[in-house]
Every structure is written in structure tokens, then in C-alpha cells.
Amino acid sequence: MNSRHVSRSFAPRLAAALLPALTLTLLTAGAAGAALNPQRVIYQKDSLYHRIFVFQDGDIVTLRFGRRDGPLTQSQISLSEPSRHLLEYSQLMFCGLLHCPAPRRALILGLGGGMIPREMRRYFPEAEIDVAEIDPEVAEVARRFFDFKTDARLNVHVSDGRMFIRRQLRRQPAPKYDIVLLDAFNSDYIPFHLMTKEFLEEVRGVLADDGVVVANVFYTNALFDAELATFLAVFGRTQAYYGATSVNAMLVAPGPRGQVLKPDEAAAIARALQEKHRFSFDLEAVARRLRPDVRPAPGTKILTDDRAPVNWLKEQKSNLPAP
């Protein structure tokens, strides 16, 4: 501190007087910091749907909805290395490529910080990418703080995801997507109408025959079991990629002419794709997270527009064993 500006004789006495107080202050500050969050809020906005928080901690910018110290990080970027995947889930979402290695058309529900469409664009410069994001403020935040850019073939549609898909279905002919990524999270749960049988049937309507649907879910609660059962009811075949360090899991369902994979097949495809695209993460490590034959417990109820107690299921434990 500025002790050199204090006279010599006075300094020890001052230090003796200040030391306990200083220690106490540092201790409490440390405790509070650990409890709250040491990160600096650089942007905060109440949108129609969320309380949006953007933090910066040195090189790392973080997007969070709901509570400042909430448990759910939506998106994270390293400003010096934007392609570095700081969160496991954004790597896992690329598992769809194992089932559909050369997507020409992708649909992403839920923008967040825009990492998935940005990286998708990086590896597939020709692909046509549609993003449906309900909250215009989130789109603005992604552009401003997370290095997200739209282009002629990468569009953000400010719309409810289900409304967007229904609009696409009404177009003649309805567009068919090779990859559909379901990643529309609220501050604490997935909106119920984006998890039901009827919704997934609409998704199936915009899915190419050899395409793949990937849904980001948490495997620890009973909503995972219900969503898995719903996927199986609609798509027939469903596999899962479990996170290693996070509780995220990807439910993956191929279209009627698409592929389900055995673990060694997935790893071989991953190696070939890694060779070709030089991903900033290890796709083979993602492939190794495949659980090919995951099934819900018998009697698990599927989610429908009529009955979808998502908030209740979220609080119940999953019946499936953790990987």
C-alpha cells in the first residue's frame, strides 16, 4: 500500500492498528467473493424472458440468465481464442456430425452466446444455418460480446422455436435440415412445449431422411428419462452422449435413413472428421462418450402437449444409472 508515504516512526504503529482490521476485511471479502462470484459484470439487462448477465474475468466472457450467481452458465468465450470450447456441452453438441458428417442445412433452436452456429459456420462455410431465438436481447448480446456474426446463409430468426418450425412446415416445399440442434434453455428449465411428442413430430417433419436431431439435456434428473422415452416414441432409434465433466447429455436421433452408431464406428468417423476439419476440440473424445443402447425404465411416461410436468420431473432423480 502507500506505506512509504507514511513517516517511519508512525508506520509500525499504524500497521499494528490496521493489521487486524485489514485481515478481517480481506477474509470477509474473500468469503463474499467466493460466495457471490469474483467475475465482473460488464452487461446486465432485463429482457422479456430473462435477466441477462454478461461477466468478464480477464480473457473469459460468460453469459448467464436468471440469477447473477445462478448455477447455469449459458455460454462462455475466450476472447483470445474464440474457438476454444470452455464448456463441455458445446463440444458434445457436435456429436451430430458423427451421424451426419457433411450437413448442408442446420437448424439450431436457442442461440445463447452463439458459439454453436459460429463454430458450425467455421467448419462448414457453405452450410445454410437457421437459428431460432425467442429473445431479441440475447441475439444482441451474442453479437456484442460473443463474437457472433450472421451472414447471407446464417440467419437468426427472433421467434419461438416451435413457431419457427411450424412456419417452416407450412412452406412449400418445407425445408429439410440435415442437423437439428435443440438447445433452448430458459434460466432454469427447457420450455415444456419444446420437449413433447407433438413437438418432436414437427421436428421430424423438417428433418432430412438421413439427418439427425440432437437435444441438449441434463442426465441427472427424471426429465432426461421422460425425454428419452419421448425421443424413442417419435424417432424409434435414439442414442446418447454423456458428458464426462458436466451433467449434460446429448440425445441423438437419426432420420429414417440415418445412422445409429456402435462406439468403434463413432470413434473411426470422429478420427476421419478430425483429420478433415481440424476441430478445436477432440471429436474422438466426444465419440467415446456414446452410450449406444440407453433405454428408459419400463413405464416411463412420455411428454405430450397434454401432459408435460417438466418442472416437476426436473426435481426428481433420474432412474437411469449415471455413466
Partner 1 sequence: MLHAPCTRLRRAAIVAIACICGWFVMELEMLGGRILTPYFGSAVYVVMGSVIGVFLLSLSGGYVLGGWLSRKPYSEISLGGGLAIAGAWLALTPWLIAPVCDGLLNLGLDDKWGSLIAALALFALPTVILGTVSPTVVRWLTAEASESGRNAGIVLGLSTVASFAGCIVTAFYLVLLSARLTLRVSGLILFLVGCAIIVVGLRHRRLRSWEGGAEAGKGRTP
Tell me if 171 contacts partner 1 by CB under 8 A: no
Tell me if 123 contacts partner 1 by CB under 8 A: no
Position among 128, 198, 210, 265 found at the interface with partner 1 (CB under 8 A): 198
From the list 69, 183, 305, 306, the catalytic residue is 183
Residue 218: CB minimum distance to partner 1, A: 19
Contact 154, 76 (CB under 8 A): no
Residue 93: CB minimum distance to partner 1, A: 22
Position among 15, 22, 29, 163 found at the interface with partner 1 (CB under 8 A): 163
Q: For residue 178, indicate whether it is catalytic.
A: no
**262-321: which residues touch partner 1 (CB under 8 A)?**
305-307, 309, 311-312
Tell me if 162 contacts partner 1 by CB under 8 A: yes
Rounded-to-integer distance, Cα 30 and Cα 18, Å: 18
Q: One symbol per residue from 39 to 68: x for binding partner 1 (CB under 8 A), - otherwise; what is it?
A: ---------xx-------------------
Position among 148, 192, 219, 235 found at the interface with partner 1 (CB under 8 A): 192
Q: Which residues are catalytic?
A: 183
Binding site for partner 1 (CB under 8 A): 48-49, 134, 159-160, 162-163, 166, 170, 191-193, 196, 198-199, 305-307, 309, 311-312
